[in-house]
Amino acid sequence: MAEFGNPDVIEEEVDILIIGGGMAACGTAYEIGPWIEAAGGGITVKLVDKAAMDRSGAVAQGLSAINTYIGPDQDPADYARMVSNDLMGITRDDLAYDLGRHVDESVHLFEEWGLPIWKTDENGERYDGSKGMTSLKDGGKPVRSGKWQIMINGESYKWIVAEAAKKALGMDNIQERIFIVKLVNDKNDPNRIAGAVGFSVREHKLYVYKFKACLLVAGGCVNIFRPRSVGEGQGRAWYPVWNAGSTYTMAAEAGAELTLMENRFVPTRFKDGYGPVGAWFLLFKSKATNAYGEVYMDRNKEMLDDYPPYGQAAVPASCLRNHLMLKEMKEGRGPIWMDTVTALANLRETLSPREVKHLEAEAWEDFLDMCIGQCGIWAGENIEPEKKNSELMPTEPYLLGSHSGCCGIWVSGPDDVGAPTDEAMDGVPEHLPKGWNWGYRGMTTVQGLFTAADGVGASGHKFSSGSHAEGRMCAKSMVKFVMDNKDHKPELDTSVDELIEEIYRPVRNFLEHKDYSTAIDVNPNYITPKMLQFRLQKLMDEYVAGVATYYTTNANMLEVAEHKLAELKEDALKMRAKDLHELLRAWENYHRILTAEAHMKHIQFREESRYPGFYYRMDKNFVDEENWKCFVNSIYDKETKTFKCFKRAHVDLVDKSKLFK
């Protein structure tokens, strides 16, 4: 192995590079082979994941439900309607509809690969997936926890999906433990992608890839806000801590247009363990109350009238549910309780003893499947859910595009759904072809750069199954792109030496200055990645509507945040890496900073509070349908190192009037 600070450099050329190993990447890996074959073969593909695919991505720990399954009785248009409503009216119906018509096929594949899915028998009695029963594909009836959600025994969900992906693509074409730091544009076309550069987190090797097309699916962004967890618990978060904003930052730096980066998700979770609430609210029909046993959704229901028409929806948006809960907390009627005791008692009245036993086991299995830490809390605090209620808490904000959030990258939609004209608003530059389709589903505004799942903005509620389906769609469109660009020779616009110089800066910072002080972590010449992360989290928390201010901010606070972020970005060049692990942390933090900056700039630009309960601009504390029912998009300028935000027109392709009372 080369001496630290002087890595071996490995250069490779493939047609398609997949960056990431989560649900979307697995979907692409599974799907791409047959499309390559149909195209006559000869297209090379490589997948790189910074971790190990069996347990990487948001589904790593498992899940107890698949939250997007349309089934034969619902229409993808209903799904697009629900997605729009939960995200306060501003989503891309073309993307949601397209997902809705493909997602079930992914679920059927999961079942075929061995994922146990709960079923009901002809009498409507429920059984868990170990019972087998008719498959969904052959007309088996899933146990629906909600209108869109179905129950599974999913501790090994990701293993199962990864196994199929690995088998399809072949381990020769998969490289684990490679962290990609940045994308490289094409020397002959700045709006085209030509390569990516990263390093092994196990060996002292740097990798430079050249390609015609690339799928960037490295998840959403966690840990830009100070988390509620402290000390040893800090590794615990709701979404995976390894989601470091790499998708958004690398795409932005390559010139891709971002959308709705002001959007965030603040999930209400079981306190301290971040245990999921979906099964409790939907399957167990549990209610959440204030300290005095009052259901805040009833007590504060008139607050929904402040947000027409969204407040009138049959199921109020996730942010509005938070909005009603926060009133109780702010006015001193906390803690908030999940009334598990009443919910389980009620179920005992209607279900058979066998089903009750099954559901009581599920109360634990729900957490064991996907959030084992919450079981630790129940055990540690002597909580038996049938006897003692559990506290709920809104978490720190998360940025993502696959769960109940919709920030991300602006991508080309399907060519057969709507595709309205995208009229310029307020003198916005028209740098794209008209409409929401520019040839290749899932391609960003940069030629050859594709994304899916958390990467795709303006279409939330894809969850695990939808992320996989979106990855599969990209397999097809990337093959098409490569076929259409057969003769293109990618050339990097930056030399390999310059790339090494940049990537290894944190290592050099360390080697050059380590002997200046006797304590390795205390040194005026560098900052540890951990300390830098604390700085980022503190400023985002205090100025950009974190938990410290009950999710409130205003233009003045954002201005302060802007200065502090600019200084932090400057100081990020001083991060040190004493080993490969810290080099990973240093670059993850850099990705976090740029994502945080995009979030802040978008909140600053959108002069309203579109997502009450997720964040409030107190100086513009209203939803302004007339001026702001539009997308806020942005482009990052690498030269000036700034984001420029602008409006893009929103169009409803699906009639939304059905949603409202």
Q: Of 278 and 335, which CB lies nearer to ligand AMP in the complex structure? A: 278
What is the rounded distance in angstroms from the CA atom of residue 19 to the CA atom of residue 448?
13
Residues 260-279 interacting with ligand AMP (rule: CB under 6 A): 267, 276-278
Residues 229-258 interacting with ligand AMP (rule: CB under 6 A): none
What is the rounded distance in angstroms from the CA atom of residue 453 to the CA atom of residue 365?
26
Residues 140-199 interacting with ligand AMP (rule: CB under 6 A): 146, 149
Contact 266, 610 (CB under 8 A): no
Residues 309-348 interacting with ligand AMP (rule: CB under 6 A): 315, 321
Residues 575-634 interacting with ligand AMP (rule: CB under 6 A): none
Distances 342 to 62, 289, 333, 348, 417 between C-alpha atoms, Å: 28, 11, 20, 10, 46
What is the rounded distance in angstroms from the CA atom of residue 403 to the CA atom of residue 453?
9
Q: Of 129 and 394, which CB lies nearer to ligand AMP in the complex structure? A: 394
* Element spanning 48, H or E: strand 45-49
Shortest separation between residue 260's beta carbon and ligand AMP, angstroms: 18
Q: Of 35 and 270, which CB lies nearer to ligand AMP in the complex structure? A: 270
Three-state SS sequence of 116-163 = CECEECCCCCEECHHHCCCCHHHCCEECECCCCCEEEEECCHHHHHHH
Shortest separation between residue 146's beta carbon and ligand AMP, angstroms: 6
Among 282, 320, 568, 653, binds ligand AMP (CB under 6 A): 282
What is the rounded distance in angstroms from the CA atom of residue 400 to the CA atom of residue 220?
4
Shortest separation between residue 644's beta carbon and ligand AMP, angstroms: 33
Q: Of 325 and 557, which CB lies nearer to ligand AMP in the complex structure? A: 325
For 418-436, give the DSSP string.
------B-TT----S-SSS
Shortest separation between residue 309's beta carbon and ligand AMP, angstroms: 18
Q: Of 281 and 398, which CB lies nearer to ligand AMP in the complex structure? A: 281
Which one-letter amino acid corresponds to residue 576?
A: R
CA pseudo-torsion sign 483, 484, 487, 493: negative
Shortest separation between residue 283's beta carbon and ligand AMP, angstroms: 9
Q: Partners of 13 in the beta sheet?
A: 210
Shortest separation between residue 286's beta carbon and ligand AMP, angstroms: 9
Site string for ligand AMP, 528-567 (x = CB under 6 A): ----------------------------------------
**Tokens of residue 498, six digits:** 């310059």
Close Cβ partners of 626 (under 8 Å, ≥ 6 residues apart):
none
Q: Of 56 and 404, which CB lies nearer to ligand AMP in the complex structure? A: 404
By 3-state DSSP, what share of the chain in percent is helix, strand and coil, each rounded to 5? 40, 20, 40
Q: Of 252 and 283, which CB lies nearer to ligand AMP in the complex structure? A: 283
Shortest separation between residue 489's beta carbon and ligand AMP, angstroms: 45
Q: Partners of 8 in the beta sheet?
A: 205
Shortest separation between residue 349's beta carbon and ligand AMP, angstroms: 22
Residues 55-74 interacting with ligand AMP (rule: CB under 6 A): 67
Residues 392-411 interacting with ligand AMP (rule: CB under 6 A): 404
Q: Of 400 and 499, which CB lies nearer to ligand AMP in the complex structure? A: 400
What is the rounded distance in angstroms from the CA atom of residue 189 to the CA atom of residue 330?
53
Q: Of 289 and 477, which CB lies nearer to ligand AMP in the complex structure? A: 289
Contact 390, 277 (CB under 8 A): no
Shortest separation between residue 455's beta carbon and ligand AMP, angstroms: 19
Among 79, 225, 281, 614, binds ligand AMP (CB under 6 A): 281
Q: Of 68 and 528, which CB lies nearer to ligand AMP in the complex structure? A: 68
Shortest separation between residue 508's beta carbon and ligand AMP, angstroms: 43
* Element spanning 27, H or E: helix 23-38
Give the residue closest to ligand AMP by C-beta: 278
CA pseudo-torsion sign 533, 536, 539, 545: negative
Q: Of 312 and 421, which CB lies nearer to ligand AMP in the complex structure? A: 312
Shortest separation between residue 280's beta carbon and ligand AMP, angstroms: 8
Q: Of 278 and 309, which CB lies nearer to ligand AMP in the complex structure? A: 278
Q: Around Cβ 522, how many Cβ atoms within 10 Å?
A: 10
Query: Is 464 among the residues that bind ligand AMP (CB under 6 A)?
Result: no
User: How many residues in the shown chain lie near ligand AMP by CB under 6 A?
Assistant: 12
Close Cβ partners of 124 (under 8 Å, ≥ 6 residues apart):
none
Q: Which residues are at the interface with ligand AMP (CB under 6 A)?
A: 67, 146, 149, 267, 276-278, 281-282, 315, 321, 404
